[in-house]
Amino acid sequence: MGYLSNISRSEGDPKVVHPGRSSLGGVDRLVRALGWFSLGLGLAELLAPRQFTRALGMPGQEMLVRSYGLREIGSGVLSLSPDKTTGLWSRVGGDALDVLTLAAAYRADNPKRDNVALALAAVAGIMVLDLIGAQGVTGRHRRASGERRRYSDRSGFPQGVQSARGAARRDFRTPADMQAAPATAALPNGGDLAASTG
């Protein structure tokens, strides 16, 4: 990663010698992996729905698979964004929808029933990971419960508002480059010399 940072740095930027430890926790890494997985699966469902329907014995359901692909892409983008919680819980909801759809295809007359069983097992496993990620991110990024913080007694002035009043007037000195203002600044009409003389 440091090598890539050094390639893309602008002239004058410091060189990355050692990138250091990541601030990402285990849950954050899981969430990132799930987000990229969601994007990949969504693109595959969007671009090649017939392969999915053929493998699962669901002919004629290509538009459904495409719509699930769009849902996966949306969930993946949200999972990789700062609003990870929404993306992950949308993935959990999408997993439940996938299970229902696959359960409907798990019929005795479906010649690809074994493939559907494998897909159900895979979706169940991913759903467990999505739940772990969603609960972990929700817990990690949630504010502590209890009384809300109050800042009404803070002014932003460490020595109080009264001590700050007039401080700029006492200590202010006009910078040297602003002491000799151009003569046009005092003229009417925005400093238009022709307008003031004519």
- The predicted structure's pLDDT at residue 189: 59
Give the Cα separation of 68 and 147 in Å (integer). Answer: 41
Neighbours of 59 (CB within 10 A): 9
Angle value at C-alpha 82, between 80 and 86, nearest 5 degrees: 75
Task: Write down the pLDDT at residue 47.
Answer: 94
Region 49-72 average pLDDT: 91
Using alpha carbons only, give the angle 123, 126, 130 rounded to the nearest 5 degrees: 130
Q: For 88-132, what is each residue's pLDDT tens digit? A: 888 899 999 999 999 999 888 889 999 999 999 999 999 999 999
Work out the pLDDT band at 40, boundaries 50, 70, 90.
very high
Percent of the chain with pLDDT over 70: 65
In angstroms, the Cα distances linking 74 to 68, 79, 117, 194 are 10, 9, 26, 61
